[in-house]
Amino acid sequence: GLTILGYLDQNLTEVIVNKKDRLFKKSPGYHLDLFVCGVGMYPLLSILGLPYTHAATVRSLAHVLSLTTYETVPGADGKTMITKVTGCVEQRVSHLVVHLLMFVSLAATPLLRLVPQFIIIGIFLYLGMSSIRGNAMFDRMWLF
């Protein structure tokens, strides 16, 4: 069951992130990362008794959206403005920095315990509410 769930999560994340709308210049390696995980990571994690990796769908999609460049163009009627994707900055540095900061946060756990819980809850509430704008599901819900 976990194998199927991991496979579906990985492939759905890749399909969502690598949509043609994003105008990537480099072609996606759809099953390369799944192969690397299956041959290298999963056996090692199994031997060490550690949990398996996952595709991190929300984080991956948010990262791609933040690197996407947009342009506002006039619509067909000339009155409305349409936001159009012009491309995406393709790089690996920000992923590396995000994961390094996640690693540093493990070392900073004693400091993070000093932060009151309601502040942490407020930060997550703000991040959740601010990510609603631009989400296709919520945009469609507001149409009705």
Its sign, for the CA torsion 31, 36, 41, 42, is positive
CA 115-62-102 angle, to 5 degrees, is 40
Using the predicted structure, report yes or no on whether residue 94 has a pLDDT greater than 90: no
Using the predicted structure, report yes or no on whether residue 29 has a pLDDT greater than 90: no
Cα(33)–Cα(10) distance, integer angstroms: 9
**What would the pLDDT profile of 58-92 be if each residue is shown by its tens digit?**
777 777 878 888 888 888 887 888 888 888 877 77
Q: What's the rounded mean pLDDT across residues 97-125?
A: 89
**Confidence grade of residue 1 (pLDDT, cut at 50, 70, 90):** low
Helices (H), 18-135: 32-36, 42-48, 57-67, 93-107, 109-112, 117-130
Cα(105)–Cα(44) distance, integer angstroms: 24
Q: What's the rounded mean pLDDT across residues 126-141?
A: 80
Q: What is the pTM of this model?
A: 0.56
Q: What's the rounded mean pLDDT across residues 37-54?
A: 83
Maximum average pLDDT range among 39-43, 111-115, 133-137, 140-144: 111-115
Percent of the chain at pLDDT > 90 equals 9
